Amino acid sequence: MIRPAIALALPLLLHASDSGFQQHVVENELPSGYQVLAVDLSGDGRPDIVGLSQRSDTLYWYQYPNWERRAIVSGMKGMISLDAADVDGDGTVEIALGTHFGQTDETSEGRVYILHRRAGVAEPWEASEIDRLPTTHRLSFLDFDRDGVPELLNSPLTGPGCRKPLFDCETPIAYYEPGDWSRHYVTRYLDGVVHGMRAADWDGPTVLSASMGGIDRFRPDGAGGWTRMHLADGAEAMRPGNGASEIGVGRSADGRFVATIEPWHGNQVTVYCCEGRGFLSRTVIDSTLRDGHVLNVADFDGDGMDEVLAGMRGEPQRLSLYKRGPDGWTRRVIDDGGISAAGCDIADFDGDGDADIACIGARTGNIKWYENRILDGGR
Ligand SMILES: [Ca+2]
Ligand SMILES: [Ca+2]
Ligand SMILES: [Ca+2]
Ligand SMILES: [Ca+2]
C-alpha cells in the first residue's frame, strides 16, 4: 500500500507518537452525534456526559462511572447545541438547549429552551422555551458581568436574510439575562457564517467568534456594551471557503495563542501566535482534515502550556493532539478511524488530576471517553 507523503502535507510535524490515551466506550448506538458536554448531573462530584444527536428527538445523559443512559427530555426536533449552569442558584444545573436547526432563516426556527431538573435523577426534565432565533447554533453560559449569575450566549449560524451559497449577510451573537431571559446582543455585525463561538476567560470574560470574516474577540466594556477586536482574517480563499470555523485560546511560552479550524468545516488546524506579537504569525499545523469539526485547547501533559485537540467528521476520522516543541508542532493521534468527531469536551473523568477527553461521533454514532495516560508514561 502506498501511503500519502504526510511529511509534505505536514512540514512542521515530526512523527506521531503513542496515543497516550486509553479509549472507553460510552455509547455505540446514537446516530448523528453532534455535541457532548461533561457536567455532573448525579451530584457525586464526577462529570457525567450529556450526548446530543441531530437525528434523535431525545436528549440523553450517561451517568459516571457505568454510563447508564437516561433521557433528559424527549420530543425535541433538530437539536444542535447545549450548555449547563446553575442559573437560579439552587445548587443544581439547568441546561440550555437549542433546537430546530437549519442553515438559514428560511429553514430554521431556532428555538431555545431552558431545561429544569425535577426531583429525581431519572425523571424527565421540564422544558421552558425562552426564545426563537433562527439558525441558533452555539449556546454557552458565561458570567460576563461577574455578578455570580451566568448569562446565556447564543451564536446563530447565519443572520437575517442569509442565503446559500455565499452567505453574504451580517450575523449576530445574542445573549439572554437569566430571569426574564430578555434577548440582547454582543454584536450584530459578524460576516456570513459564524460556525464557531467560544466563551473563555482571557484576562476576564471573553467571547471569541470564528466566521467567514475570520477571528474576533469581544470583551464587555463595563458600561453595558462590548469592545470588538479583530484578530485575524482566517483562511484566504474565495467565499464561502474563507475565514474560520472552530476556535480556542490557550497558553504558550510566548503568551496566549489562538487555534482554529479553517475554513468552514475545513481541512486546516491553524495557530496564531501570540498575544505579545499581535497574532501576526499564522501557522497551519495540519492540513489533512476532512470536515474538521472539533477544536479544543487544554493542558493535557501538565506542563503549564496548552495543547490543541482537533478532530474531523470525514474520513479518515482522526482525532489528534498537537503539542508545540522547540522545532514546531508534533502530532499525537488519539483515535485513528474510530470516531467521526463532531464534538469533544474536556474534563477529569477519573479524578486523577489530569484532563481527559469525551467525544461524540456523527457517522460512527458513538460516544467515547479517552483516559489521559500521558503522565503514566504513554500507553
Ligand atoms: Ca439550578
Ligand atoms: Ca452575570
Ligand atoms: Ca501541556
Ligand atoms: Ca484524568
Contact 355, 39 (CB under 8 A): no
Paired with 95 in beta bridges are 84, 115
Average pLDDT over residues 228-256: 96
- Cell digits of residue 212: 467567514
d(CA 47, CA 371): 13
Q: How confident is the model at residue 15 (pLDDT cuts 50, 70, 90)?
A: very low
Residue 372: the pLDDT is 97
pLDDT in tens, 301-351: 999 999 999 999 999 999 999 999 989 999 999 999 999 999 999 999 999
Residue 14: the pLDDT is 36
CA angle 171/175/177 to nearest 5° reads 160
Point out the ligand nearest to the CA of residue 92.
Answer: 1
* pTM score: 0.94
Residue 367: the pLDDT is 98
pLDDT in tens, 70-124: 999 999 999 999 999 999 999 999 999 999 999 999 999 999 999 999 877 778 8
Q: What percent of the chain has pLDDT over 70?
A: 95
CA angle 262/264/270 to nearest 5° reads 10
For ligand 1, the distance from its centroid to the CA atom of residue 121, given in whole angstroms, is 14
For ligand 1, the distance from its centroid to the CA atom of residue 199, given in whole angstroms, is 20
For ligand 2, the distance from its centroid to the CA atom of residue 312, given in whole angstroms, is 34
Residue 263: the pLDDT is 98
Average pLDDT over residues 1-27: 59
For ligand 4, the distance from its centroid to the CA atom of residue 289, given in whole angstroms, is 27
Q: How confident is the model at residue 377 (pLDDT cuts 50, 70, 90)?
A: low
d(CA 149, CA 211): 28
- Cell digits of residue 55: 437525528
Point out the ligand nearest to the CA of residue 85.
Answer: 1
Point out the ligand nearest to the CA of residue 20.
Answer: 4
pLDDT in tens, 280-296: 899 999 999 999 999 99
- Whether the pLDDT of residue 9 is over 60: the answer is no
d(CA 247, CA 234): 11
Residue 119: the pLDDT is 79
Question: 3-class DSSP state for residue 374?
Answer: helix
Residue 1: the pLDDT is 37
d(CA 109, CA 77): 10
Alpha helices in 197-317 (DSSP H): none
For ligand 3, the distance from its centroid to the CA atom of residue 231, given in whole angstroms, is 24
Rounded to the nearest 5°, which phi and psi values hold at 247? -150, 145
Q: What percent of the chain has pLDDT over 90?
A: 90
Residue 123: the pLDDT is 85
